[in-house]
Amino acid sequence: MSKAYSEVKTELNIDVKSSNNQSLAELTHFLQNEDSAYLKNSFWETQEANLLHEKASQYGLPLNWDIPFPPPLSPKFKFIDLFAGIGGFRIAMQKLGGKCVFTSEWDEKAKKTYEANFGEVPFGDITKEETKSYIPDDFDVLCAGFPCQAFSIAGKRGGFEDTRGTLFFDVAEIIKRKKPKAIFLENVKGLRNHDKGKTLRTILNVLRNDLEYYVPEPEIINAKDFGVPQNRERIFIVGFRKDMGVDSFEYPKPLNKTIVFEDIREEEVVSAKYYLSTQYLKTLREHKARHAGKGNGFGYEIIPNDGIANAVVCGGMGRERNLINDDRLEDFTPVTKIKGVVNREGIRKMTPREWARLQGFPDEFIIPVADASAYKQFGNSVAVPAIHATSNEILKILNLL
C-alpha cells in the first residue's frame, strides 16, 4: 500500500542535517523518479542501505506526496534545477507542468527548505564530477541562477576554456554533455557591465559558438512588472539548441497590473520582535544624517503601503532598506511600548513571509528555518512570477505546453 512521504521520511530517517546528505539526495531523487540509476553512492552497498532500499521499494510508487509542491503526475516536459536555492525556478516550472529530474544546491539550510517543500534533497557541489554524474540525459530545459564571476580572458578569444575555474564553466560543461533543448539562465543586472562587459561577452560567445545554441540578446527583467511589489532587476539569458529551428524569441511583456506593498502585507499583527526599538531607530536616523550626501549607499527606507519595496537582499543593511510603518502598533499593550521593545511610531522590518510574497512565493511555501536564514534564502532567490512568465514563452516555442 502506498504511503505518504512524511511517513516514509520518518521511517527512513530522512534528515537534511545528516552528514550523509549525498545519500539522502540519491534516495529522494530515486523516490521521485523511480530510477535506481540515482543510487550510486557506496552507502547503498551496505546492509543498512539495503534495508532502506527494500523498505522504499515496498511503499509502491508513486508515493502520496503530502508536501506543498509535489511532482506532476503527467509531466509535459523535464528540467534540471542548478544552483537551486530554495526552488524559485522549480515552483515556476512545475506550475507549467514540468518535472524536475535533478537538483543541486550547496547551502545546507537552503536544502532543508527545499526538501520541506518539494520532498527532495538537492545534490551538493556541482563542480564535482561525482555530482554531475547523477544528471540524466533526457531532460528538456536547463535552469540555472548561477553566480557572477570574472573570467581569465586577457589576450584570449573568450571561449569555453577561458571560463575554467568559474561556476559558469560547470553550467556550460553540463550543456555541452547533455544538450538540452533549451537553457534559461538568471543573474544579477550587473552581469551586463561586469569586468567591462567581458564576462557577458564570453558567456554569449560560449553559448552561441562553442555550444551552438541560438541565444537572443539577454534582457533585464524587473519583478515589479510581473505582479509583485518589488523593484528587482535581473538579467535573463535564454537559449535554444540550434537544431530546434528557433530563430527568434520575445521576452514576456510587462503585465498591466499594479501591486503595492499593502497587497502582500501580513494580515495579522506580527510579533513585536519585528518592530525596531526606540534606540535602534534613533541610531539609524543619526547614522543616515551623518552620511547624507556622501554617496556611500548607507540608509534605511520606509516603504509606504501604496509603494513598492526595494530589491530584497540578504547582506549588509538589506532589511533596513525595506522598513514599513505599521499602523497596527496600538494592538500591542502599552507596557510593551514603555519597555522600549517597540518604538512608538510602529516602524518595523518586513517579515520573512512578506519577503516570500515579494518574491512571488505562494503562502503554502513552508519556511522551516530561523528568520536569519529565511531572509538570506529569499534574498538570494529568484522572483517566481518573472521566471514563470519567461518560462512560459520558452515552452510555447518548444511546443511543450
Active-site residue numbers?
148
Cell of 314: 540578504
d(CA 185, CA 197): 17
Residue 338 C-beta-side C-alpha neighbours within 13 Å: 3
d(CA 163, CA 149): 9
Contact 355, 374 (CB under 8 A): yes
Measured in residues, the chain has a length of 401
Q: What is the torsional sign of CA 318, 256, 95, 136? A: negative
Q: Is 141 helix (H, G, I), strand (E, B) or coil?
A: strand
Of residues 332, 333, 330, 311, the one with CA closest to residue 322:
311
Cell of 158: 573568450
Of residues 239, 372, 356, 391, the one with CA closest to residue 315:
372
Q: In terms of DSSP bridges, do strands 77-82 and 213-214 run parallel, antiparallel, or are they unpaired?
A: unpaired
Cα 288 from chain centre = 32
How does DSSP assign 353-380, residue by residue? HHHHHHTT--TT----S-HHHHHHHHHH
Contact 6, 66 (CB under 8 A): yes
Give, to the nearest 10 degrees, the angle between helix 47-58 and helix 21-33: 30
d(CA 346, CA 14): 42
d(CA 289, CA 294): 10
Phi and psi for 366 in degrees, rounded to 5? -80, 135
